[in-house]
Chain A
């Protein structure tokens, strides 16, 4: 078993296709505002089988290194791209400090790498210093893709995944506006002065300090058709060897490693200082926002400078935006903003929302394939045009086993883009009184919506994380929609108008009211699910102190969620959230719905992949059934052909011709056996143990296949299941009864199994012959050997078969019973039927049978009437009163030889002379003959025959 398992494991490991050559190198590029600051980057080039080929720059996520994208890089190289992966400055063994994708540093570095690619012979080019190159990456690397494409026009296509558009809004979001929200599905107003997302920001800062691992998803998200459960997908966060290796590497490399790529990476952590490998500007900005909870002027400027939003206005290259539906860090709104900005320049944009994200998982195999398809088409015109549509994955109901079902909805375009239709919104009426909610002093305890960085670990399934949401009483206002009458598929961010008012007389927090809006899916049993664990923080500044409400439009978080019928959509507004920096000042607000307020949830109709059963297994089942049907039909045809009948032998009960049975190993149990049994005979098959008698009878019953020769019963050739077997009643080698049934039930069931009419069975006569009396009602397992034997013979007699075959029928019977058996067989044969009896006992055959076939070592030794065999030859014995005188008289006769005297007996070979003549001669000679008979009993004949048989 262990071996089998090991074999399977080994087989499974062996699935990497074509080998991918890779080349590691430290490259020096010039960056900085004046492009005069050298930095050493740790790079690996992965080469496809065929070159020159288009190149793909593959950027890693925050806290990772080039090693964390190795498997993706190899996969892309196998798709035929030259892939360049590198550790960004400040990560891995690269030099420099982390500038958060600063245009003068990280982006300039990448631009330098594009120039380097232009000099490589393996890379196809469109001109001098202009390679055919695409760029992709996840999270931090995705932002780099956008920024690079914005500033370096040599980039021909890009696929940024799970990344940000505006880092300021990602870390300090504000979703409330007094104005309008854009007409795209996941639009967010991106108002300034938001609420600090301290958990994620902290995790990211830690990742930059060397504590990578939590910042980027490691497991793969569920995809359509995938059925693996979470436990096998590496969801444990550390299961991705590349990520773990990258984290370890990040911890080894210290900030002093700039320009000194090797050998110095072992500085202890405490020497890094509070800023780690961050640039001083980034470090200052983080410290500022983390301590105050709000971004100052300098921080805002820094975040704006490093955000892709600063350059998306100049991206015109084909862009495929991949964003996760399980992402509390960079939500769907970030890709939404990028899509709007890029399409405004006329850049072709395709948007894909998949089931993963920073809380869910990285793109699965199918989505990675789509990314490669994008580059295939846009870098070298290969494959079908992926188009500029919009695809979003819908997770269906969770399955008890395996991952939830996923289906993909495809819309022709992303709604609300430049020149396109605005997104359709379904307005759900909400109801609920004005409610007063309280921000506790210190902002603690607080509601829980998500566990940043741990989303994948929770309960083994990020998809259950939606159930973790906890709202604290007194801190939450709820407004409900009526129950749905049919399924409503929300795809994007809803909007709702709410009024917030200060409690008169209660002091307010400086900076305005901080609130969090969420949209729950409430099942009929009251279970609340927070789709995507996503919430929208909002800050409403300057509430009038007299309690006059301020009306704002809130953009809810972008989600994809089917709301089933009978479910209720609930808007919840809380004062606190664990993952955000909440003002420590105690405050109370009254929250109510605006006049006639509805929540407008985006609905994006599209074509759905069906959830019908997959076709392949269904076709497979059909094919298998056809094959089985064909096999059955073939068997029937073969059986039909097997019938053979010889009408000349129709009245002969049994003819055996040239019968042989050889077993593997050369042992011949039966060899060239030929004999014939005529009607009315009681034939004895005589031979010592091992002579092949039972084997012959088994062949006669079709139980074993002869290796040569044939058996015909009433002219029909015997094979297994030949109908003529129904004319044979048999008892071969022991009784066979169901031990748990009575003797009578056994016989009745036996007869029922033959399918013949019950009145033909003659149970009464057969049971009377067995003579079991009342014992027939007892279970057979209580029977003695003899009783079973008698019952078995009764069974053989059922229906009075024309040929009865009994194997050693008198075994285990006592002499009176043997005598009765002889009588039974003789008189049975007298009714015109035939009996074949095998035995190793001479006396039995002599007494029972009229014909005998003697077998020895599988061969026929003699056959004929019992009398002929016994009386064969002229030897006779005379019991007389005067032996000497008798011997003299006999010797005087013509032709009489070898006269011997043995006590009162005289033996002589009479030759042709009849015994009666010899007796007359003796009487004439005055000898009183007491007895005259053949000298040999069957025993002598048998022994002589066997002796001859063994001699040949």
Chain B
């Protein structure tokens, strides 16, 4: 049925196969739509169904169905990208560097731009601006984004009651979890890349392509700093794996999307608070957020990989534990919503 045909049908009101009409007697401006099925539609259904005979395969599946084609990534990405919260979040990430630029522009000028912490150095050059943005976003925003994409993914389906329809398509549970996790990973990565990329463009326009200066006075050329930034994003992505896996686990456990996202963010904040307690000493190494800023080691002429390796290891261990727990829980779970 083409758009034209549909348009014509609604022009003529109720015709062949269905439509809607406004119930008389409702208040002005308020319209209540009632729906009905035309007998012709049932005829059409019967005809079409009678003419359609679909075979089936040895494994019992209907012809044309293959487990490996269910819930393609493209479809899941479309499902997520068409959500308002995804669009708003990505939009916000594009906007954030501009907001920060405006804040620096209208704020007091610190004068000396080659000393002090990352905040003082933020306006020294484009790479510094990116570094500052990553620092500013690193403790809360980035974990929250990852938690949002991963924590919301299963729980929101459950809250819409659409999970059971996905499972009875059937999308096998392990595949559903994997496709959902991969789509969330792609979106998270998109967010992780988008933020520094926009920050880099903003920085290049307003602060120039100078060299990256660290608080310790190390200066690395713009070209190398691009590599360092790419490496930083890569490290952050690996380091946040634990948030992803935890959020996914919570998403499987609860049917409330907010609970899953909030739970993961809460654990992240708790870990950061405990990390502030220096009395914990070496035990802090076991906190999942302990190495979350280890990527700043990359902004150096003599890169020390120790912290980043340990941070990656810690993240991978936590991610594996929570990820396997999520898979196990989801495999055995009774889906009732």
Contact = CB atoms under 8 A, between A and B. Distances in A.
Interface of A: 1, 4-5, 8-9, 11-12, 225, 227, 231-232, 396-402, 404-405, 464, 467, 523-525, 527, 529, 562, 564, 611-614, 616-618, 620-621, 624-625, 627-628, 631, 635, 639, 643, 645, 698, 701-705, 713-716, 720-728, 730, 732-741, 745, 749-750, 752-757, 760, 762, 764-775, 784, 786-787, 790, 795, 797, 799-802, 816-817, 820, 823-824, 827-828, 830-833
Contact of A738 (B18, B62, B79, B214): B79
B97 interface: no
A740 B45 contact: no
A753 B79 CA distance: 10
Nearest to B179: A753
Given A724-B60, A738-B162, A755-B65, A8 B283 contact: yes
Interface residues of B, number: 112
B334 A703 contact: yes
Nearest 3 Cβ contacts at the A-B interface: A755-B69, A724-B60, A721-B172
Contacts of B49: 765, 800, 828, 831, 833
B102 interface: no
Contacts of B44: 764-765, 768
B232 to A, nearest CB: 12
7 contacts: A635-B174, A635-B327, A737-B160, A753-B76, A755-B65, A756-B65, A817-B36
B66 to A, nearest CB: 6
A613 B306 contact: yes
Given A698-B164, A724-B60, 16 more contacts: A12-B281, A396-B304, A400-B215, A405-B304, A527-B114, A614-B306, A621-B316, A643-B59, A703-B167, A721-B167, A723-B65, A738-B162, A749-B78, A774-B19, A823-B39, A827-B45
Contacts of B218: 397-398
Contacts of A730: 165, 168
Contacts of A766: 45
B290 to A, nearest CB: 10
A908 to B, nearest CB: 41
B217 interface: yes
Given A227-B306, A786-B35, A621 B173 contact: no
A552 to B, nearest CB: 33
A652 B314 CA distance: 53
Given A727-B60, A773-B20, A624 B320 contact: yes
A771 B37 contact: yes
Nearest to B312: A621
A1 B273 contact: yes
Contacts of B293: 400-401
B136 interface: no
Nearest to B53: A832
B37 A820 contact: yes
B336 A704 contact: yes
Contacts of A645: 60
A765 B41 CA distance: 7
Nearest to B67: A723
B32 to A, nearest CB: 8
A350 B294 CA distance: 36
Contacts of A701: 164, 167-168
A695 B278 CA distance: 53
Interface string B30-42: 0001011111111
A620 B313 contact: yes
B296 A830 contact: no
A9 B320 contact: no
Interface in B16-31: 17-20
Most buried by A among B36, B37, B304, B331: B37
Given A397-B216, A722-B170, A738-B162, A716 B334 contact: no
A740 B82 contact: yes
Given A523-B217, A753-B171, A703 B46 contact: no
B48 A765 contact: yes
B141 interface: no
Contact of B35 (A11, A396, A787): A787
B334 to A, nearest CB: 4
B162 to A, nearest CB: 4
Contact of B302 (A396, A464, A736, A756): A396
Most buried by B among A564, A625, A725, A727: A725
Contact of A232 (B163, B278, B323): B278
Contact of B301 (A527, A564, A714, A737): A564
Contacts of A740: 82-84
Interface string B41-59: 1101110111010101101
Contact of A752 (B66, B72, B312): B72
A768 B35 CA distance: 11
B312 A770 contact: no
A725 B170 contact: yes
A755 B170 CA distance: 10
B307 A402 contact: yes
Contacts of A820: 36-37, 39, 42
B270 interface: yes
